[in-house]
Amino acid sequence: MKKRSYRAQKVNEVRWEEVAERVKDKAVVWAIDVAKVEQYGVLMDSERQVVVTLRWAHPAETPTALDQLRVLPCGSLTAVMESTGVYGDTLRRQLREAGMEVHQMSAKRVHDACEVYDGVPSLHDAKVGGRSPRLHQLNQRLIIFPA
């Protein structure tokens, strides 16, 4: 496994033109590891390839991230959030207002998937973000928030 496989880019440093080319007309999942301030998100295409792993400060940079995601030319964009306490409430509302379907992923399933992936039970933000969209795409049990 590559040493820096979970490296995240700051939302303002992402080359969004390249991201747009890679997701054009594809079903895309955006998995978010919710935290109090520093959020991580992994954008994964329908072929289960990570397009970009990004990080941003919530709430200051959240509008920037949402604005960039909103204009991507993908076929569909679904947000998957690891279950959390109240830290994700405002982000969930903002995602819905941006027109995204929002799902909540079981924290236990994400934790188990992280250990199966590389044999290490560690849970750091970018790794969690990378496992959540794969679980979602594999149609694991999801809790769908009402609209």
- How far is 35 from 73, CA to CA, in rounded Å? 28
- How far is 49 from 96, CA to CA, in rounded Å? 25
Quick one: pLDDT at residue 136?
55
Annotation: CATH topology of 9-144: Nucleotidyltransferase; domain 5 (3.30.420)
The predicted model scores a pTM of: 0.74
Quick one: pLDDT at residue 54?
92
Quick one: pLDDT at residue 142?
47
Quick one: pLDDT at residue 82?
75
- How far is 11 from 109, CA to CA, in rounded Å? 27
What separation in angstroms does the CA of 123 have from each of 53, 70, 110, 118, 146?
Answer: 15, 28, 9, 11, 28
Quick one: pLDDT at residue 1?
43
pLDDT in tens, the chain (147 residues): 454 456 889 999 999 999 999 999 999 999 888 888 898 888 988 888 889 999 999 999 999 999 999 999 999 999 988 766 788 889 999 999 998 989 887 776 666 666 555 556 655 555 455 555 665 555 544 444 443
Quick one: pLDDT at residue 129?
54
